[in-house]
């Protein structure tokens, strides 16, 4: 019968032929893939596909014409039913094999393939039907120890006893019940939640395919297995898979089975040795599929008396590193285009390549969970303070710094640690930002763990106690804290990675810079091909031992002269910092943000620190304590910080501007001329920019005059208060560039503390109050609206103004899409997120080109 006529008669049941109307959105990926295999003339058993809407109706009790389905197959053929969801990763109910097996078929098969094989097939079906369809307890069959006819009789007896009816003999009833149970399983709550967690939409559909069985049991070489041409972990060419004689489905992959290797292998017997022709054919089929389906495929096959049947082909499961290598190799062999290769790697997966990861095979003893704030995994001994972290590093012992939260005082400890764990905080809190900058695995906001810092005790969520020196592992990619030292795998920045990223860069149409504060950050940024530094947070430069004291003296100075003297000690250090940065980033823009945090963050917070400072300043401890307390603010993030310091204590910015200009001249002496970009934080009024700009211009003029040499620089404004967005037109008239600081802008738009939001963010996201943590993915509706206004007005005020985003969102793929859509020139993110941002931006450009 021609296909078209068949469809007219019953669109619910579609025989898979080369021209049948089958598509992934209506019948699912497996059905579509089988059609492709049929078109390639592969030996695929006869198969019928049921559409999503048909399966949906089945779940509600409306059966398609079962006799119509059976009529597609030879009388008495055994069948299997497999799920076919739109995306294979969304899973689906397990396949049911051997449908149609009954007493009559048993007699017939005993003649053709032998009584043992027939008994085994029947017994398998009875048990699968009992458990997956009749929903009987699997324990019912546990007692059966016989095989062959005895085992079968036992299984049938157990079924009858538990189900209170004889095992159904009618193939039509068997098939209908299997279809119904699989359709219903897809609608179950657990299945729904699981697939939604993998990105499936709420109304994702399920297709089912009904396929004639290739038995895998019987006379001659019979069996089943899977084969693929690459290693799923490494992505390197390697024939992998298993084969098991006298087996069905994926039994060859079950542990404890005496499965064979595929290729000759010194570790044991192989399919190549026992059935060389079949092995050769399988390899050829796999290579043909790879070329024609333009993907690495895993084939599920069955041998029936030595002849090969291909039951299924699925895209090979792959780690991120394998995905990248596979895509590069397919493009290098001309099987797919470079653009397609770029589209085939998930940007977020890239961070797996940039950091050491926990081996996916390793056992995980989870002690607690928090926000996955900085990816990668590291193992070390617990320490509870920065000084202990430094001491541990000095002894050569890797350590994990455990703190309630971190502050700038902890930066040195963080440098010394291999990972950080904090009780408080969210995705943009101090530990998270610094962790990402350093490429240091970090979990923050682990509120369900106990942080008894005074007792030097960390309590797991289940109450287990961990003391200083105990070994734990921080998995900053998943947000888990693990006991001990599970096996890890190294970062993979090989040639394939470099090639792949160069293809991505060729497509990209938005700039990517890095947020880098130290020479180490800048070097990482360069290695990851950032196009400059988009944000250098200068305050981090003042925490080193020899700097913190003059810094504190400057803060404590009573008179402008004393302040100047302290700043004069800091000037050469700052100058040296900038010279180094400019040299590392030679030929690229470096955007330096002037001092931002409230000054009191640089003062000690504990008694020992106060005493040290009193000694250094030659003052009584009580004076120092009083002074520190008097500098405290109720709301420091909205207090005396950013450009407000630049107005109230202008000598600090004067010193920084001078250091930048002197470094510019110095670095330009032996390299390409440097054009520094200077950025003012936390601006809310145009007048702030005018005032600070005139002082910086004056410093520039003074340095030019003193040195007798000219240089250029540009001045920009961080747009990170809602008012700066609204007044962007007048602000832009005094600036060469505007950079949206989306961390503070999110904090201020929501009125949501970036350091405290971690405490309730997961509740908010779970209950759907926020679709996602807005510090993580830019809130396109609210914060985004302010950015749109800022972009429009900024360009109105100054047509040539350059616009960028330098908050943490700059490394988030969805946020990059937003930035690109509103016309941002570049985004800047932590160095380790630069490759992710480069790939995400490239994919957006390719999507646009492809329409």
* Residue 537, binding choice from Mg ion, ligand PEP, none, Cβ under 5 to 8 Å by partner class: ligand PEP
Which span sits near ligand PEP by CB under 6 A: 37-45, 134-142, 579-587, 738-746? 738-746
Read off the tokens for 692. Answer: 């600070």
> Smallest distance, Å, CB 799 to ligand PEP?
25
Q: Look up tokens 């910086």; give the residue.
A: 696
CA pair distance 401, 706, nearest whole angstrom: 47
Number of residues that bind Mg ion (CB under 5 A): 3
Q: Does 504 bind ligand PEP (CB under 6 A)?
A: no
Q: How many CB atoms lie within 10 A of CB 60?
A: 10
* Residue 806, binding choice from Mg ion, ligand PEP, none, Cβ under 5 to 8 Å by partner class: ligand PEP
- Judged by CB under 5 A, the residue of 72, 744, 755, 773 near Mg ion is 744
> Smallest distance, Å, CB 743 to ligand PEP?
3
Q: Does 743 bind ligand PEP (CB under 6 A)?
A: yes
Q: Which is nearer to ligand PEP, 16 or 682 (CB)?
A: 682
Residues contacting residue 785 through CB under 8 Å, at least 6 positions apart: none
- Do residues 90 and 198 make contact, with C-beta atoms less than 8 angstroms apart? yes
- Do residues 370 and 443 make contact, with C-beta atoms less than 8 angstroms apart? yes
Residues 266-295 touching Mg ion, rule: CB under 5 A, are none
Residues 701-720 touching ligand PEP, rule: CB under 6 A, are 720
- Judged by CB under 6 A, the residue of 64, 100, 550, 807 near ligand PEP is 807
Closest CA to 186 of 86, 282, 47: 86
Q: Does 535 bind ligand PEP (CB under 6 A)?
A: yes
Torsion of CA 102, 106, 109, 111, to 10 degrees: -150
Q: Which is nearer to Mg ion, 729 or 744 (CB)?
A: 744
> Smallest distance, Å, CB 406 to Mg ion?
17
Element (H, E) at 151: helix 148-163
Query: 744 a known binding residue?
Result: yes
Which span sits near ligand PEP by CB under 6 A: 273-281, 447-455, 739-747, 760-768? 739-747
Q: In Å, how far from its chain's centre is CA 158?
A: 47
Using alpha carbons only, give the angle 378, 379, 381 rounded to the nearest 5 degrees. Answer: 135
CA pair distance 610, 622, nearest whole angstrom: 9
- Do residues 557 and 651 make contact, with C-beta atoms less than 8 angstroms apart? no
What x-and-dash track marks residues 695-724 binding Mg ion by CB under 5 A? -------------------------x----
CA pair distance 15, 72, nearest whole angstrom: 7
Query: 720 a known binding residue?
Result: yes
Q: How many CB atoms lie within 10 A of CB 237?
A: 13
Residues contacting residue 656 through CB under 8 Å, at least 6 positions apart: 538, 574, 592, 594, 595
Please pick, among 430, 540, 776, 809, the residue that the annotation labels catalytic: 430
Q: Does 744 bind ligand PEP (CB under 6 A)?
A: yes
- Judged by CB under 5 A, the residue of 437, 439, 741, 774 near Mg ion is 741
Which span sits near ligand PEP by CB under 6 A: 100-108, 388-396, 741-749, 841-849? 741-749
Query: 743 a known binding residue?
Result: yes
> Smallest distance, Å, CB 740 to Mg ion?
10
- Do residues 371 and 432 make contact, with C-beta atoms less than 8 angstroms apart? yes
Q: Does 677 bind ligand PEP (CB under 6 A)?
A: no
> Smallest distance, Å, CB 817 to Mg ion?
22
Which span sits near Mg ion by CB under 5 A: 242-250, 414-422, 492-500, 733-741? 733-741
Q: Which is nearer to ligand PEP, 688 or 744 (CB)?
A: 744
- Judged by CB under 6 A, the residue of 313, 741, 813, 831 near ligand PEP is 741
Number of residues that bind ligand PEP (CB under 6 A): 10
- Do residues 392 and 381 make contact, with C-beta atoms less than 8 angstroms apart? yes
* Residue 481, binding choice from Mg ion, ligand PEP, none, Cβ under 5 to 8 Å by partner class: none
Residue closest to Mg ion when measured from CB atoms:
744
> Smallest distance, Å, CB 285 to ligand PEP?
54
CA pair distance 158, 164, nearest whole angstrom: 10
> Smallest distance, Å, CB 515 to ligand PEP?
7
* Residue 807, binding choice from Mg ion, ligand PEP, none, Cβ under 5 to 8 Å by partner class: ligand PEP
Torsion of CA 834, 835, 841, 843, to 10 degrees: -170
Q: Which is nearer to Mg ion, 357 or 747 (CB)?
A: 747
- Judged by CB under 6 A, the residue of 120, 742, 812, 843 near ligand PEP is 742
CA pair distance 678, 686, nearest whole angstrom: 16
Q: Which is nearer to ligand PEP, 339 or 743 (CB)?
A: 743
Widest pairwise Cα distance in the chain: 107
Which span sits near ligand PEP by CB under 6 A: 261-269, 486-494, 579-587, 740-748? 740-748
First to last CA, the chain: 39
CA pair distance 230, 272, nearest whole angstrom: 17
- Do residues 70 and 103 make contact, with C-beta atoms less than 8 angstroms apart? no
- Do residues 741 and 807 make contact, with C-beta atoms less than 8 angstroms apart? yes
- Do residues 475 and 377 make contact, with C-beta atoms less than 8 angstroms apart? yes
What x-and-dash track marks residues 531-570 binding Mg ion by CB under 5 A? ----------------------------------------
Which segments of 460-607 are extended strands (E)?
465-467, 471-475, 480-483, 488-489, 511-515, 533-537, 590-593
CA pair distance 238, 224, nearest whole angstrom: 20
Residues contacting residue 670 through CB under 8 Å, at least 6 positions apart: none
> Smallest distance, Å, CB 637 to Mg ion?
9
Query: 794 a known binding residue?
Result: no
Q: Which is nearer to ligand PEP, 102 or 531 (CB)?
A: 531
- Do residues 113 and 120 make contact, with C-beta atoms less than 8 angstroms apart? no
Pairing assessment for the beta strands 471-475 and 480-483 based on DSSP bridges? antiparallel
Q: How many CB atoms lie within 10 A of CB 117?
A: 20
Q: Is 430 a catalytic residue?
A: yes
Q: Which is nearer to ligand PEP, 537 or 833 (CB)?
A: 537
Q: Which is nearer to Mg ion, 304 or 720 (CB)?
A: 720
Closest CA to 831 of 372, 509, 510, 513: 513
Please pick, among 33, 222, 686, 806, the residue that the annotation labels catalytic: 806
Q: Does 806 bind ligand PEP (CB under 6 A)?
A: yes
Q: Look up tokens 């003649």; give the residue.
A: 111
> Smallest distance, Å, CB 598 to ligand PEP?
12
- Do residues 543 and 579 make contact, with C-beta atoms less than 8 angstroms apart? no
> Smallest distance, Å, CB 772 to ligand PEP?
17
> Smallest distance, Å, CB 22 to Mg ion?
53
* Residue 410, binding choice from ligand PEP, Mg ion, none, Cβ under 5 to 8 Å by partner class: none
Read off the tokens for 289. Answer: 């599929």
Q: Does 594 bind ligand PEP (CB under 6 A)?
A: no
Q: Does 374 bind ligand PEP (CB under 6 A)?
A: no
Q: How many CB atoms lie within 10 A of CB 111?
A: 9
- SS3 state of residue 423: coil
Q: Which is nearer to ligand PEP, 54 or 374 (CB)?
A: 374
Q: Which is nearer to Mg ion, 64 or 741 (CB)?
A: 741
Which span sits near ligand PEP by CB under 6 A: 99-107, 382-390, 550-558, 735-743? 735-743
Q: Does 537 bind ligand PEP (CB under 6 A)?
A: yes
CA pair distance 128, 134, nearest whole angstrom: 9
Q: Which is nearer to ligand PEP, 86 or 744 (CB)?
A: 744
Which residues participate in catalysis according to the annotation? Answer: 430, 806
Known binding-site residue numbers for Mg(2+): 720, 744
Report the interface residues with Mg ion, using CB under 5 A.
720, 741, 744
Query: In the complex, which residues of this chain contact ligand PEP (CB under 6 A)?
Result: 535, 537, 596, 720, 741-744, 806-807
């Amino acid at each position: 019968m021609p296909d078209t006529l068949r469809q007219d008669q019953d669109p619910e049941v579609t025989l898979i032929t080369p021209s049948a109307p089958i598509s992934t959105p209506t019948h699912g990926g497996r059905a579509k893939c089988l059609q492709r295999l049929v078109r390639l003339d592969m030996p695929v058993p006869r198969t019928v596909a049921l559409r999503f809407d048909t399966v949906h109706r089945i779940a509600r009790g409306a059966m398609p014409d079962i006799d119509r389905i059976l009529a597609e197959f030879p009388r008495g053929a055994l069948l299997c039913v497999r799920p076919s969801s739109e995306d294979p990763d969304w899973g689906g109910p397990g396949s049911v094999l051997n449908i149609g097996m009954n007493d009559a078929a048993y007699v017939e098969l005993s003649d053709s393939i032998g009584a043992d094989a027939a008994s085994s097939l029947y017994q398998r079906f009875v048990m699968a039907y009992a458990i997956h369809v009749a929903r009987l307890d699997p324990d019912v069959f546990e007692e059966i120890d016989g095989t062959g006819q005895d085992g079968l009789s036992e299984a049938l007896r157990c079924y009858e006893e538990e189900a209170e009816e004889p095992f159904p003999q009618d193939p039509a009833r068997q098939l209908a019940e299997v279809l119904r149970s699989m359709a219903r399983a897809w609608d179950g709550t657990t299945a729904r939640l699981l697939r939604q967690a993998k990105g499936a939409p709420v109304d994702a559909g399920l297709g089912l395919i009904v396929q004639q069985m290739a038995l895998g049991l019987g006379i001659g070489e019979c069996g089943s297995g899977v084969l693929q041409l690459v290693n799923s972990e490494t992505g390197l060419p390697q024939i992998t898979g298993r084969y098991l004689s006298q087996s069905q489905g994926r039994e060859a992959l079950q542990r404890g089975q005496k499965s064979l290797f595929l290729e000759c292998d010194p570790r044991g017997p192989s399919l190549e040795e026992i059935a060389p022709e079949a092995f050769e054919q399988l390899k050829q089929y796999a290579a043909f599929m790879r070329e024609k389906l333009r993907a690495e495929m895993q084939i599920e096959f069955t041998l029936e008396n030595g002849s090969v049947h291909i039951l299924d082909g699925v895209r090979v499961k792959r780690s991120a590193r394998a995905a990248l290598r596979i895509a590069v190799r397919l493009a290098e062999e001309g099987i797919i285009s470079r653009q397609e290769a770029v589209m085939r790697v998930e940007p977020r997966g890239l961070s797996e390549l940039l950091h050491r990861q926990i081996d996916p095979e390793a056992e995980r003893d989870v002690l607690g969970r928090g926000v996955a704030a900085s990816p990668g995994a590291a193992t070390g001994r617990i320490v509870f303070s920065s000084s202990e972290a430094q001491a541990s590093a000095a002894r050569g012992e890797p350590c994990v710094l455990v703190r309630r939260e971190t502050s700038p005082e902890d930066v040195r400890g963080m440098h010394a640690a291999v990972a950080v764990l904090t009780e408080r905080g969210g995705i943009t809190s101090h530990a998270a930002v610094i962790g990402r900058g350093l490429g240091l695995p970090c979990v923050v906001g682990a509120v369900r763990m106990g942080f008894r810092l005074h007792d030097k005790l960390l309590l797991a969520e289940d109450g287990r106690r961990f003391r200083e020196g105990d070994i734990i592992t921080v998995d900053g990619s998943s947000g888990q804290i693990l006991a001990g030292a599970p096996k890890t795998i190294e970062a993979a920045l090989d040639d394939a990675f470099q090639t792949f990223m160069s293809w991505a860069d060729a497509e990209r149409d938005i700039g990517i810079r890095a947020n880098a504060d130290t020479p180490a950050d800048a070097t990482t940024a360069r290695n990851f091909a950032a196009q400059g530094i988009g944000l250098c947070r200068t305050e981090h430069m003042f925490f080193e031992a020899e700097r913190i004291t003059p810094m504190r003296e400057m803060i404590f100075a009573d008179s402008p002269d004393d302040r100047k003297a302290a700043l004069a000690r800091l000037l050469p250090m700052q100058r040296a910092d900038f010279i180094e940065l400019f040299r590392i980033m030679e030929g690229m823009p470096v955007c330096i943000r002037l001092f931002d945090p409230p000054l009191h963050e640089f003062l000690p917070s504990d008694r020992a620190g106060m005493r040290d400072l009193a000694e250094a300043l030659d003052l009584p401890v009580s004076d120092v304590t009083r002074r520190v307390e008097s500098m405290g603010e109720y709301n420091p993030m909205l207090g005396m910080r950013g450009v407000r310091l630049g107005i109230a204590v202008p000598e600090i910015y004067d010193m920084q501007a001078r250091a930048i200009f002197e470094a510019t001249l110095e670095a330009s002496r032996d390299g390409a001329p440097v054009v520094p970009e200077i950025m003012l934080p936390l601006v809310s009024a145009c007048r702030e920019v005018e005032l600070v700009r005139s002082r910086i211009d004056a410093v520039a003029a003074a340095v030019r005059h003193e040195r007798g040499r000219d240089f250029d620089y540009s001045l920009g404004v961080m747009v990170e208060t809602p008012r700066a967005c609204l007044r962007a037109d007048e602000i832009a008239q005094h600036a060469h560039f505007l950079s949206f600081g989306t961390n503070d802008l999110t904090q201020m738009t929501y009125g949501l503390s970036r350091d405290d939001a971690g405490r309730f963010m997961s509740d908010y996201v779970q209950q759907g109050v926020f679709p996602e943590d807005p510090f993580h993915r830019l809130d396109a509706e609210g914060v985004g609206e302010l950015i749109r206004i800022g972009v429009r007005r900024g360009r109105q005020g100054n047509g040539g103004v350059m616009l960028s985003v330098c908050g943490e969102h700059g490394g988030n793929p969805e946020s990059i899409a937003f930035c690109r859509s509103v016309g941002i020139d570049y985004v800047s993110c932590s160095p380790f997120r630069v490759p992710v941002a480069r790939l995400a931006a490239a994919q957006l450009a390719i999507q646009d080109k492809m329409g």
